[in-house]
Amino acid sequence: MEIPLPLPDDDTRPFWEGCRRRELLMQRCAACGRFRFTPRHLCPSCRSQRCEWVPVSGRGTVYSRVICHPPVLPAFAPRAPYAVVLVELEEDATLRMLGNVLDCPPEEIEIGMPVQVDFQQLTDEITLPQWRRAS
Amino acid sequence: MHLSEKAAIVGIGQSEFSKNIGRSERSIALEAIGLALEDAGVTADEVDGLVRFDLESSTEVEIAYNLGIPNLRFFAEAGYGGGGGCATLALAAMAVETGRADVVVCWRARNRGSGGRPWAGTRMQVGGDQQFYIPFGLVRPVDQIAMLAARHMFEFGTTVEQFGAVAVACRKHAQRNPRAMMRAPMTLEDHRNSRTISEPLRKLDCCLETDGALAVVITSAGRARDLRQPSVAILAAVQGSGPEHVVMANYHKEPFLETPSFYAARELWRQSGVGPDDIDCAQFYDAFTPLVTISLEEYGFCKPGEGGPFSENGRLEWPDGQLPTNTSGGGLSEAYVHGFNLILEGVRQARGTSTSQVEDAELCLVTSGGGVPTSAAVLART
C-alpha cells in the first residue's frame, strides 16, 4: 500500500530535488551562515531571505527513537511494529531529521547509534532520505 | 492588578462523559453551556462574549443563534488543539478586564470517542511541517510525544514505572469521581503490562477517547460577587510557544527537551505573582503521561530531569501527596476533552467541591496541551 508522500513547496523543493539526485542538502543562511532544518523562508537568526543549499556528510547519530505498534495508519501496517528515528547530523545539533533505519531491526536501534544517509526512491518525483547503520 | 479586579469563573457545566454519547457536538455544547449559565445564575441574554477552540465544529455565531444571544460584542478562538484550553480563559479574562465584554462563555465539545481518530484521516500527500515526519510513519500524537519520552529516559534515566506513577495517581483520583470514565483499580504492574502503543509508551500512558462537552462562564470580579456560586478568580492565564516551534514535532531546536510549557510557566509566574511553592494542587495536561513528567519540571515543581522521581512515592496523590495532581482523574482516567475537564476541576478545587478536595485549597494550577503552543492558568479561591 502506498504511504503518504511529501508535498514539496517553494521553501522545501530544493531539499527534495537534492534527495531525488541522492544528495543530502541542508539550507544555510547566505548572510550569517547558520544552518536550518526544517527549511523555511527566512533565517531565524538574522532574518535574511538569502540562503544556499549545501551538501552535508550524511553522517549522524540516532538522537531518539520510537517503535510504533498497531493500530497504525493502514499504509504503514504491513511494516508494524516499525521504528522511527530522529537523527542528529554531525554538522549541527539542530539539524535533526526523522527517518527509518533500513538495515536494522527496531529493537536493535539504540540512541547514540551512528548512521549514514541512504536514499529510497518512491516515485519519479519523491525520494526519501533514509538511514543505514554506520560503524 | 488586585485580586478583586481580576476576571472570575462564576459558572461551570458539562455533559456526561461517554465513549458514544449519541448526540451531535453542537447538542452537547449547548447542554454544557446551558448548565454553566444555570450554575452561574445568569441568562443567555446577558452573554456578550464567546471563545471557542479553533477545532470546534460549531462556530460562535451558531452557538449564539441557538442560545438567542442578543449581541456578541466579543468573539475569538484559541488554536493548537489541546494547547488552547487555558488560552480561552486568557482571552475571556482580557475581554472582561478591558471592558470589551461583560459575560463570556468558553467551551469545548468533542466527540472523540465515537468520532474516530484524527490521524486516521491523514492525506496521501502531506505538506508543511508534516512532509518531514508523516512519510516516515511518525503519524500519531502518541508517536510524536514518545519521541520526547525516549530521549527523556535516555538523558535522565526516567523509567517506565515513573510514567506509570502518573497514570496510577490519576486512576486513584478517578475512582473517587463518579463522572470519571475509568474507575477500575490500576497498579504499576497493570501499567507495565498494558500493550505497547509507541515504545516506550504503553496503552495506560495514553488518555481516554471521550465524547463530552464542558463550558465555563467568566465575568468581572464586581459582577461575580452578586452571583450564586463562590467565584474563582483567574489570577493569571497566559500563552507560550518558545523559539522555532514545530507543532507536534518540536525537534529542531536546542534544548531538545524544552517545550512550550517552559515559556508558559515563566509568563504565568511573572503575571500571577505567585510561584510553584504557593500552589495547592495541579491539573496538568495529560494526553500522555510524559507530558506530566515534563510539566513538573517546566512549571518549577522540581529540577530539569527530576520529573520522573518526583512522580513517585505518591507525591502526586490525594490527600497526602506533596502536589495532588489531576484530582478528577485527568485526561488519563476521567475524560479526554482536550484538557477542558482540567479547567473545571481547577474551579471545583478552588470552590471546595472536588471529589478529592485538597484541604483549604487556595491556588490551583491548570495547564493545557503539551508538544504544542500552549497555555496555563492559576485559579484562586476568593
Total residue count of chain A as it appears in this document: 135
Structure confidence at residue B159 (pLDDT): 98
Structure confidence at residue A62 (pLDDT): 98
Q: State whether B119 and A96 contact (CB < 8 Å).
A: no
Give yes or no for residue B80 having a pLDDT over 90.
yes
Residue B212 pLDDT class (50, 70, 90 cuts): very high
A6, A55, B180, B284, B324 from B359: Cα distances, Å: 53, 62, 21, 19, 11
Best B132, B203, B206, B256 residue to mutate vs chain A (most A CBs within 10 Å): B132
Nearest to A66 among B146, B154, B244 (CB): B146
Tell me, yes or no, if A7 comes closer than 8 A to chain B by beta carbon.
yes
Tell me, yes or no, if A59 comes closer than 8 A to chain B by beta carbon.
no
Single-letter amino acid code for the residue at B116: G
Q: In whole angstroms, give the CA distance from residue B369 to residue A14.
A: 34
- A107 near A74, Cβ under 8 Å? no
DSSP class of A100 = -
Give the model confidence (pLDDT) of B282-324 as tens digits.
999 999 999 999 999 999 999 999 999 999 999 999 999 999 9
Give yes or no for residue B26 having a pLDDT over 90.
yes
The β-bridge partners of B202 are B196
Nearest to A5 among B124, B143, B199 (CB): B124
CATH tag, B3-115+207-377: 3.40.47.10
Give the active site residues of B. Answer: 285, 336
Give yes or no for residue B2 having a pLDDT over 90.
no
Query: What pTM was estimated for this model as a whole?
Result: 0.98
> Taking Cα atoms as reference points, which of A92, A95, A72 lies closest to residue A84?
A72
Structure confidence at residue B165 (pLDDT): 98
Task: Please state the rounded mean pLDDT for residues A74-81.
Answer: 96
Tell me the chain B residues in contact with residue A84 when contact means C-beta distances shorter than 8 Å: 133, 136-138, 143, 147
Averaged confidence pLDDT in chain B = 97
CB atoms within 10 A of CB A2: 8
Tell me the chain A residues in contact with residue B132 when contact means C-beta distances shorter than 8 Å: 6, 38, 97-98
Helix (H) or strand (E) holding B273: none
Nearest to A100 among B129, B137, B143 (CB): B137
Structure confidence at residue A82 (pLDDT): 98
- Interface size between A and B, measured as CB pairs under 8 A: 116
Q: State whether B256 and A63 contact (CB < 8 Å).
A: yes
Tell me the chain A residues in contact with residue B128 when contact means C-beta distances shorter than 8 Å: 9
Structure confidence at residue A21 (pLDDT): 98
Give the model confidence (pLDDT) of B126-178 as tens digits.
999 999 999 999 999 999 999 999 999 999 999 999 999 999 999 999 999 99
Task: Please state the rounded mean pLDDT for residues B328-336.
Answer: 98
Coil/strand/helix, residue B261: helix
Residue B19 pLDDT class (50, 70, 90 cuts): very high
Q: In whole angstroms, give the CA distance from residue A109 to residue B232.
A: 50
Q: State whether B198 and A65 contact (CB < 8 Å).
A: no
Give yes or no for residue B60 having a pLDDT over 90.
yes
- B217 near B37, Cβ under 8 Å? yes
Cis amide linkage into residue A38, ω under 30° from 0: yes
Structure confidence at residue A83 (pLDDT): 98
Q: State whether A65 and B124 contact (CB < 8 Å).
A: no
Give yes or no for residue B120 having a pLDDT over 80.
yes
